Amino acid sequence: MVSNTLHTSNPSTPNSTASRSMCICFYLLLRSLQIARSCTFPSSRAVLRCGLHTHIEVHSDIPIGAGLGSSAAFSVAAATTFLILSGCLSIESDFTPNRQQCGLIQSLAHEAEVITHGKPSGLDTAVSVHGGGIYFERHTSTPVLHRINIPSGDWNILIVNSNVSRSTGEVVQAVADRRRRQTTAVDDLLQKIGELSKKAFDVLNGSEACLTKLTPLIRKNQQLLVSLDVSCLAVDEIISELCRFGLTAKLTGAGRGGCVIAVALNSCGYEQALQLMRSKSLWAKVVRGFAAGVHVLRTSACLSAP
């Protein structure tokens, strides 16, 4: 029922994002209470079971529908919250969930992503939960996720929003339609993209991960995405302008709009590119690559259940 409500809602209405978020929260509330009933050691601070009022605020600067996994980030944060409120996770102090707890959070958040997207890969959810980098590999119906072991903060990434909205489903369908017409050509492009991804994984997971080895792979990947017809004029122009400052960039997400990600061999390039993008009224931000995953902070305004 929740899925049907989401898929029949009008995405153009001003409150559609809020409505969808509320549907997801309602689902996660019910599921977390259900899970709590089977928890071996449920927390005594189960706010929802104590009948206390709960106020939840969501703060995020992640652009929505721009290929940055905003829905997965929200689902992970919401799943963690309701697991805490239901007593499945304790919040006696600040903490980073352990492996078993991360598995529970990831599983519940993935359920929410299935409601939102239908058949998500699980990659965005895994990254939001565990942090760092993840290499996604699918040769069968069951995907395999490999961790990329790079210390947090060692890399910076510039993200630029093209301000071109697009539907992930429509882009995926367009590629599928072209594949039916040009099976050999599209399969060849997809194979080359997969091979480049594997090379990037080997570089990043190697003993000497470096941008000088990664940047040619990023550049070639974007060329293949252009050939696959999932880029667009706005994205191509941003990539070209970033190149002037020594940055290597590619689209991220489904393509045909959304965001561009870029890396530079020196920090000066980031600042100059950032100023240019913002002068064009484009959302742009430099973030730490391979940052940490889900973490819970207890504040003075936090839970006060007995």
The span from the CA of 87 to the CA of 289, in Å, is 33
CA distances from 155 to 128, 222, 243 (A): 17, 20, 18
The span from the CA of 202 to the CA of 48, in Å, is 46
- Name the residues annotated as catalytic: 124
The span from the CA of 267 to the CA of 290, in Å, is 17
Chain centroid offset of residue 105 CA: 15
Tokens of 71: 């829905």
The span from the CA of 221 to the CA of 195, in Å, is 10
The span from the CA of 210 to the CA of 223, in Å, is 21
- The radius of gyration computed from the CA coordinates of the chain, to the nearest angstrom, equals 21
- Other CB atoms within 10 Å distance of the CB of residue 144: 10
Q: Which residues pair with 144 in a beta bridge?
A: 137
Which of 212, 226, 238, 228 shows the shortest CA–CA distance to 174? 228
**Kind of pairing, strands 259-264 and 155-161?**
antiparallel
Q: State the amino acid at position 128 in one-letter form.
A: S
CA pseudo-torsion sign 40, 129, 170, 58: positive
Instruction: Identify the burial level of 276 via C-beta atoms within 10 angstroms of its C-beta, where 0-12 means exposed, 13-18 middle and 19 or more buried.
Output: middle
Which of 156, 140, 166 shows the shortest CA–CA distance to 267? 156
CB 126 within 8 A of CB 106: yes
